[in-house]
Amino acid sequence: MSETSANESRLVRVELGERSYDIQIGRNLLAGLGETFAELFPGAKVAILTDETVAGLHLSSVEKSLQVAGIESHSIVLPAGEKTKSYEGLIRACDAVLDTRLERGDLVIALGGGVIGDLAGFVAGIIRRGMRFVQVPTTLLSQVDSSVGGKTGINSGHGKNLIGLFHQPSLVLADTSVLDTLPRRDFAAGYAEVAKYGLINDPAFFTWLEDNWAEIFNGGSAREEAIARSCQAKADVVAADEREAGQRALLNLGHTFGHALEGMADYDAKRLVHGEGVAIGMVLAHEFSARLGLCDPAVTDRVIDHLKAVGLPTRIDDIPGQKPDADLLMDFIAQDKKVSRGNLTFILTRGLGQSFVEKGVDPVLVREFLTEKLAEN
């Protein structure tokens, strides 16, 4: 096996003053994890939070790497799936970390996808009023999005990510070779967030993706390029607006619709995973923008074409199972964190890669739009 050494990996810095940290991106980083930790966090013990699926694939190599480096580690394996991002999963994970008797200065490792990253970051943020943690994302979605920026949390019966906090990791290790074992559907779901960075404000990146997506999926060097550019885009936005007072909201392109669709599908991964909700949500955001006369409908067609090409759903009708009604979707949208004084905030667009934050969206217009979309499907 030929290993890429650490200095061949790409580095993206998230600039947040005393909370700044690096994102390392490259192949076979897991094998060197223990060494990296020994250098960056001397003396710290670790608790590895992971799920059953990821544990089966990657836990033993992480444990071995830590052991070789002489680092005490404790592994906590939770059930796989969005249901783990719940009150129950939170309590179980907190108690398990407390069982290890780790101290404030020790580390929690989030080894897994977005669910584990969001949960482990939350757990680290509230144990002993804040332990350090390291994101080791094992899905494309978590490598390009959820592991960067410090948003953590769980879902409640009221909606997604309604309980959580901002807690920045001390390091993100994105090992791109672990994506080789990722099911294609999950890879595509993560790719929706990659495409999102193009659609927010980088039309050249979107065009590059249209030309290079096959290599990204197949594991060529375009994959590291796409991940690094995505992380850089996110890092820039987060550095400018850590707690989403303004422009960070751009990262929610497609998410308000997407979250509502996920809620409607009861967070059932068989029906819809997050990235698929975002894909459909981004199409809806473009269609809604077109309907408001903001954006040329041809742009929407181009977005749909590309998302379809990589195998993503693009219509509410693509979601299997019972079709939602507009009331149910509006109910989820009203519970979204991005609501202010009854007005809705949406990310709208004036063209390809020309998104902007619109705070004063009248719920009546959204309901009309959704009602029509549901009727035409």
Enzyme catalytic residues: 129, 151, 193, 234, 244, 248, 252, 255, 259, 274
Cα separation of 131 and 149, whole Å? 16
Cα separation of 192 and 152, whole Å? 20
Between 184 and 243, name the residue whose CB sits nearer to a second copy: 243
Residues 8, 177 contacting (CB under 8 angstroms): no
CA dihedral 107, 111, 114, 118 (to 10 degrees): -20
b/e code 224-253 from CB counts within 10 Å (16+ = b): bbbbbbbbbbbbebbbeebebeebbbbbbb
**Residues pairing with 136 in the sheet:** 111
Between 221 and 340, name the residue whose CB sits nearer to a second copy: 340
Q: How many CB atoms lie within 10 A of CB 2?
A: 5
Least distance in Å: CB of 82 to a second copy? 18
Tokens for 200, please give them: 């927010």
Least distance in Å: CB of 345 to a second copy? 11
Least distance in Å: CB of 89 to a second copy? 12
Least distance in Å: CB of 42 to a second copy? 11
Between 221 and 343, name the residue whose CB sits nearer to a second copy: 343
Between 270 and 341, name the residue whose CB sits nearer to a second copy: 341
Helix pair 203-218, 222-240: axis angle to 10 deg: 140
Least distance in Å: CB of 367 to a second copy? 17
Between 104 and 323, name the residue whose CB sits nearer to a second copy: 104
Using left for φ > 0, alpha for ψ between -120 and 50, and beta otherwise, residue 70 falls in left
What DSSP state is assigned to residue 260?
H
Please report the DSSP string for 265-334 in residue order: TTT-TTT--HHHHHHHHHHHHHHHHHHTTSS-HHHHHHHHHHHHHTT---SGGGS-SSPP-HHHHHHHHH
Q: Which residues bind a second copy (CB under 8 A)?
A: 43, 87, 91, 94-95, 98-99, 101, 103-105, 122, 125-130, 151, 153, 156-159, 161-166, 243, 334-335, 337, 339-341
Between 31 and 154, name the residue whose CB sits nearer to a second copy: 154
Least distance in Å: CB of 84 to a second copy? 16
Determine phi and psi for 364, rounding to 5 degrees.
-60, -40
